[in-house]
Amino acid sequence: MSLAGMKCLVTGAGGLLGQRIVSQLLDEGENLAEVRVLDRTFSSETLQHFEDLKGSTLLTVIKGDIRDTSCLQKAVQGISLVIHTACVIDVLGLVEKQVLWDINVGGTQRLLETCLLHDVKYFIYTSSLEVVGPNHRGDPVSNGDEDSVYQVTPGFPYAETKREAEKCVLELDGLPLKDGSSFVTCALRSMYIFGEGSPFLRKHVNEAILNNKVFFRYSRKEALVNPVYVGNVAWAHIQLAKAVRDPEKVKQIKGRFYYISDDSPHISYSDLNHELGKELGFGVERKLAMPLTMLYWYALLLEIMSFLLQPFVRYVPLINRHLLTLMNTPFTFSYKKAQKDFGYTPRYSWEESKQRTRRWIAEVASLKTTYLKSKNI
């Protein structure tokens, strides 16, 4: 099924994934009537890239906040498909809980209400693996799927907001629209996303440069996860967008969530950094700085300090128990149901994903090295 003639809105279009989704929409030769992009900020490079790709497709840029109802009304007017990637990702607790809730949940609810008001038919939500876990106990999952039963434990604000937002999206599936059709919603739970432009990967590379080109080890080698290349996550959104227009496929996929991974190897987070950077001369620390149990106690101590200092100063530790659990729990999921239900297959192989990411890492490392030399560091 083609997207030709459709008008599509992508929220969070200035972010890592949103940019790639827009690029694929414009580059697919689908002849969309319009691609509308919404975010609080766009870099000049991103906007120029979009312009270079758009061809005959109308590209409309809207700078605005997902919490602004008037902005959302302007953004969805006349739109038939919304791909909602906008959110605040916070694994350290740097963002106030209320702000996370207002953007990730409140913003999603406002967008849904506005879509229903303006008869938007299709809504695809970018969810997260953290919706399901890992839980506080660090219970492992190996090749899980959408039917896997897992004991979710609440407590970490970012995971809670993504879980609640996904619930809001899927619960509204099937609501009647003014034209007699029904609202179609789906959610994609992505694994950890790597690739060009990743802020997390950029941070790790810059840290490694300062550590004699050796990546710090944050996860045990046996804590296997299945990272996914950003281009493949974007491609899953495009494939799902096509499928929701298919009268037969939509019956199977509406109101459902899907795990999105690719054929990247099962590997720990730290060893992924090494795999992506080793041909550029990067190494990785052989083991954790201290035994994992001691790291948990250390993180707990920092969290207690943060709590005690709250009346006087806001102190956010660079490590917490949730992050340690996240990085050190074996947690892998299959994309086979997405393949079966709406035809998702990775667009980029592991080798191509690695090569593309490696070229970008080389640029980041070069810029960081040049900067340090200019400062005589």
DSSP string, 304-341: HHHHHHTTT-----S--HHHHHHHHS-EEE--HHHHHH
Tell me if residue 125 is catalytic: no
How much is the pLDDT for 29?
Answer: 62
CB 140 within 8 A of CB 201: no
For the whole prediction, is pTM greater than 0.85?
A: yes
Question: Is 317 a domain residue?
Answer: no
Number of domains in the chain: 1
Question: Is 177 a domain residue?
Answer: yes
Give the tens place of pLDDT for each residue, 272-308: 999 999 999 999 999 998 999 999 999 999 999 998 9
Q: How many angstroms separate the CA atoms of 128 and 163, rounded?
A: 8
Question: Is 111 a domain residue?
Answer: yes
pLDDT band, residue 376 (cuts 50/70/90): confident
Per DSSP bridges, beta strands 122-128 and 7-11 are unpaired
Question: Is 34 a domain residue?
Answer: yes
Q: Residue 26 belongs to what domain range?
A: 7-199+229-262+333-347
- The helix-helix angle for 269-277 and 199-210 (nearest 10°) equals 70
Q: How many angstroms separate the CA atoms of 81 and 243, rounded?
A: 12
How much is the pLDDT for 337?
Answer: 97
Q: How many angstroms separate the CA atoms of 45 and 147, rounded?
A: 42
DSSP symbol at 88: -
Question: Is 162 a domain residue?
Answer: yes
State the average pLDDT over residues 222-229.
Answer: 97
Instruction: Give the domain CATH number at 257.
Output: 3.40.50.720
> One of 158, 192, 259, 344 is an active-site residue; which one?
158
Question: Is 70 a domain residue?
Answer: yes
